[in-house]
Amino acid sequence: MKILIGPIIGKVTDTTARILLEYDQAGEVTVKLTTVNGEVKKQMKKQFEARKSSVFHFNNLDPNTKYIVNISPYTNEYTSSFKTLDFSSKNLKICWISCNDGRKNQAYKDLNLWINLSQEVLDGKYDLICHIGDQVYLDSDEWLGNTNNTYHKLKEEIFQKVPQNQWADYYEQIKEAIKDEYRFVWNYPPTAKVLANVSNIMLYDDHDIRDNWGFLPEDYDPNSADYYYGRVCQQVYYEYQRQLRDETLDLSNTQSIKEEYFTLKMGKIGFFFSDLRGDRAWHRTQQFDTTKVFQEKQWQKLDDALNQEFKDVENFVFVSQSTVVFLNHTINHLIAQKIKDSEEQWVENLDEQYKLLKKLYDWKFQNTNLNREVTIICGDIHFGGHTDIYFQNKPAFKQFTSSSITNGVKDKFKRVLSYLGAAVSEDLKGGFHFCNHDWTGKNNYGWILITNKTKKNNQQQNYVSCQQVIARDQDENQKGTVISNQIDNLTFFSSKSETNSCCQIF
């Protein structure tokens, strides 16, 4: 038996852990969890089907403990481990990744950020890595004319040649082609080491299927090739990504799933992973409202999280595939006439954008004695940077964008997008405005540390700090990465400069 994917460490709490594996042949697999001293603490056996991933779920682990993962049979050269969390105190360091076109890994050579990240993970720098979209590019550079990608080859070799009533006969072939792309990308050695040695939570985005997924008519037309292809991608997403964190997932009954957004609670920290695509395509109903960013059921899920599930948390992290704020409405709308991706940004719907920001603001400030903080995390746009958000000219909360780890913008002309927020201002309702600063179009990923600091009066102060890790361009003489300034939730910027631009959005 040879490992095709894994081990991938999925969701880890203070007492539980999930480990995903896939083998080329059927057979029995044993996983032992040992301490760093070699003492066996847990052991589990499981029967695997050929070429189908499965998860080992361990319970009753010790908090704040490092476990070594021992697997038999094991055919990889690198080791695997994880550390359980400690919920008795709030101290969580999270790395955020998006936009991983693995077909470009070799092009970056020693400048590839996965190399840097894998060393950080092996050094134990992070408690959790959140992959917030485009974990693979099934349509790699399709928009640039590239025909050597999974999406294009399946369309050319199957969907354009085979009658629609025979597509089901090719289901397994289509699924294997999609899974092969995951296997190729996730077995890149630095990436594989990351996945095997720290907890990983994943939220899909369009390139895990196809560019602009959910925003084109064929995506929800049951008779289209893209619809059928997207349904197979959905099944693979569930098997490789959703299974990492969803303990209730039944891969034999995925048609019962009605939503892709989800919550995650880790001690005093609550996460809401929103979804801008699933309701438009896979879960589209006759009542779907094309004028909305969120359908009503996702708004209700957010309200339930804020007012019930997370009423006792101190930190609320809102995760969005696309930026909540980046450019103002006028600029974004102009760009959207040429670039479809811009239609997918929150700023295209000012009412919905305001509704979201006001809900987050109200949760944070409804009781100032609760020591609450809000942080927005985004990916998608191939720019990384910080955004300070104000309400009625007073600091509200921050947005941190991490994009992309291996698909960054290299055209210096396109990098001007990161400064366009200063070009136009708008006076609209609501009283919110934002300030962008420290943006980059180079490959990047980022991390946030969520903790409490003790003030001079011995009171606890909610503290969130962010930092970017930025790749150098190949034409730069220096090697290694650029580490940006560390920016926290206590410091807000308002000056205009080459990298700082402020704009009224409502």
**Helices (H) and strands (E) in the chain — how many of each?**
9, 22
In this prediction the pTM is 0.94
Most confident of 63-67, 384-388, 493-497: 63-67
* Closest by CA position to 316, among listed 308, 307, 324, 306: 306
Q: Kindly state the average pLDDT of the residues 436-442.
A: 87
CATH of the domain at 165: 3.60.21.10
Contact predicate 222/281, CB 8 Å: no
Q: Would you say residue 494 has pLDDT above 70?
A: no
Pick the residue with more confidence: 321 or 342? Answer: 321
| pLDDT tens sequence across 105-121 | 988 888 899 999 999 99
Q: Kindly state the average pLDDT of the residues 406-417.
A: 61
Return the pLDDT at 223: 97
Query: Residue 255 contacts by C-beta under 8 Å, 6 or more apart in sequence?
Result: none
Q: Kindly state the average pLDDT of the residues 405-410.
A: 75
Q: Would you say residue 147 has pLDDT above 50?
A: yes
- The boundaries of the domain holding residue 43 are 1-88
State the total domains in the chain.
2
CATH of the domain at 55: 2.60.40.10
- The three-class DSSP label of residue 289 is coil
Q: Do 219 and 357 fall within a single domain?
A: yes
Q: Do 162 and 14 fall within a single domain?
A: no
Work out the pLDDT band at 498, boundaries 50, 70, 90.
very low
Q: Kindly state the average pLDDT of the residues 286-295.
A: 94
> What are the b/e assignments for 354-383, b being 16+ CB within 10 Å?
bbbbbbbbebbeeeeeeebbbbbbbbbbbb
Pair of tokens at residue 388: 């300070």
Q: Would you say residue 427 has pLDDT above 50?
A: no
Return the pLDDT at 493: 80
Work out the pLDDT band at 68, boundaries 50, 70, 90.
very high
Q: Do 46 and 193 fall within a single domain?
A: no
d(CA 220, CA 27) in angstroms, rounded, equals 38
Q: Kindly state the average pLDDT of the residues 465-474.
A: 90
> What are the b/e assignments for 45-65, b being 16+ CB within 10 Å?
eeebeebebbbbebeebeeeb
Q: For CA atoms 320, 408, 333, 394, give the dihedral sign.
A: positive
- The rounded Cα 45 to chain-centroid distance in angstroms is 31
Strand partners, 319: 273, 377
Q: Would you say residue 269 has pLDDT above 50?
A: yes
Strand partners, 23: 3
d(CA 56, CA 398) in angstroms, rounded, equals 37
- Looking at 33, 64, 88, the residue that finishes a domain is 88
Return the pLDDT at 458: 81
Q: Do 44 and 127 fall within a single domain?
A: no
- Looking at 88, 117, 148, the residue that finishes a domain is 88
d(CA 432, CA 369) in angstroms, rounded, equals 23
Work out the pLDDT band at 483, boundaries 50, 70, 90.
confident
Q: Do 274 and 383 fall within a single domain?
A: yes
- The three-class DSSP label of residue 121 is helix
Return the pLDDT at 326: 83
d(CA 309, CA 316) in angstroms, rounded, equals 11
Lowest mean pLDDT among 142-156, 291-305, 334-348, 472-486: 334-348
d(CA 23, CA 4) in angstroms, rounded, equals 5
Return the pLDDT at 497: 41
Q: Do 137 and 73 fall within a single domain?
A: no
**Backbone dihedral region of 174: left (phi > 0), alpha (psi from -120 to 50 degrees) or beta?**
alpha
Query: Residue 217 contacts by C-beta under 8 Å, 6 or more apart in sequence?
Result: none
Q: For CA atoms 144, 146, 150, 153, give the dihedral sign.
A: positive
Q: Kindly state the average pLDDT of the residues 219-246.
A: 98
- Looking at 88, 112, 131, the residue that finishes a domain is 88
Q: Would you say residue 491 has pLDDT above 80?
A: yes
d(CA 109, CA 104) in angstroms, rounded, equals 9
Return the pLDDT at 428: 38
Q: Do 162 and 81 fall within a single domain?
A: no
**Backbone dihedral region of 161: left (phi > 0), alpha (psi from -120 to 50 degrees) or beta?**
alpha
| pLDDT tens sequence across 161-216 | 999 999 999 999 999 999 999 999 999 999 999 999 999 999 999 999 999 999 99
Contact predicate 425/328, CB 8 Å: yes
Q: Would you say residue 423 has pLDDT above 50?
A: no
Return the pLDDT at 408: 66
Q: Do 162 and 118 fall within a single domain?
A: yes
Q: Would you say residue 412 has pLDDT above 80?
A: no
Return the pLDDT at 110: 82
Q: Would you say residue 424 has pLDDT above 60?
A: no
d(CA 489, CA 37) in angstroms, rounded, equals 40
Return the pLDDT at 475: 66
Q: Would you say residue 418 has pLDDT above 70?
A: no
Q: Do 282 and 326 fall within a single domain?
A: yes
Q: Would you say residue 426 has pLDDT above 60?
A: no
Q: Would you say residue 362 has pLDDT above 70?
A: yes
Q: Would you say residue 337 has pLDDT above 90?
A: no
Q: Kindly state the average pLDDT of the residues 5-15.
A: 98
Work out the pLDDT band at 430, boundaries 50, 70, 90.
confident
Lowest mean pLDDT among 63-77, 193-207, 320-334: 320-334
Q: Do 404 and 476 fall within a single domain?
A: yes
| pLDDT tens sequence across 363-393 | 999 987 889 999 999 999 898 999 999 999 8
Q: Do 203 and 272 fall within a single domain?
A: yes
Q: Do 74 and 113 fall within a single domain?
A: no
Work out the pLDDT band at 220, boundaries 50, 70, 90.
very high
Q: Kindly state the average pLDDT of the residues 493-498.
A: 52
Contact predicate 137/103, CB 8 Å: yes
Q: Between helices 171-186 and 189-196, what is the axis angle to 10°?
A: 90
Pair of tokens at residue 340: 């479809």
Query: Residue 281 contacts by C-beta under 8 Å, 6 or more apart in sequence?
Result: 213, 214, 219, 220, 227, 230
